[in-house]
Structure formats: C-alpha cells, structure tokens
Amino acid sequence: MKMRKCTSCNSYTLQDKCPLCKGEVRVVFPAKYSPEDKYGRYRRILKKQAHKREKD
Ligand SMILES: [Zn+2]
C-alpha cells in the first residue's frame, strides 16, 4: 500500500485519485524509505547471506 498525495489540494490518500477534489495524486514515500536506505538494507542482507553461506 502506497501513500499518495494530491497535487491540487495536498491532501493524503491511498486512492488513485484525490477523493476530495478528484485531482491527480503522486506517490509519496516516508523519509525512512529513501532509496539510499533501501539500498543499504539490501546490501546488509546480501552480506548476511554471504556470511551464512560461509558458515555452512
Ligand atoms: Zn485533492
């Protein structure tokens, strides 16, 4: 589920169109889900898996 924000009235919605003004919405991401953080987390997972494989 992605949070969306209306480009017309700036209200937040989960729908494809703004329920208030029927305006266009764009997907917004919380700050903690920035691409950089996601990439870092992915790298950590890979590292963990590599380590596990080493052990086995
Ligand atoms: Zn709106």
pLDDT at position 24: 97
pTM: 0.51
Q: How far is the CA of 56 from the centre of ligand 1 (A)?
A: 55
For residue 40, which amino acid is it? G
The CATH architecture one would assign to domain 4-55 is Single Sheet (2.20)
Q: CA-to-CA distance for 51 and 3, rounded, in angstroms?
A: 36
Q: Show Cβ contacts of residue 4 under 8 Å, excluding neighbours closer than 6 positions.
A: 12, 13, 14, 15, 16, 25, 26, 27, 28
**What confidence tens digit (pLDDT) does each residue in 8-54 have?**
999 999 999 999 999 999 998 766 655 666 667 778 878 888 877 77
- Domain positions in the chain are 4-55
Rounded to 5°, the CA angle 16-17-23 comes to: 150
Ligand 1 center to 30 CA (angstroms): 19
- Report the helix count and the strand count for the chain, using DSSP H and E: 1, 3
Ligand 1 centroid from CA 7, angstroms: 7
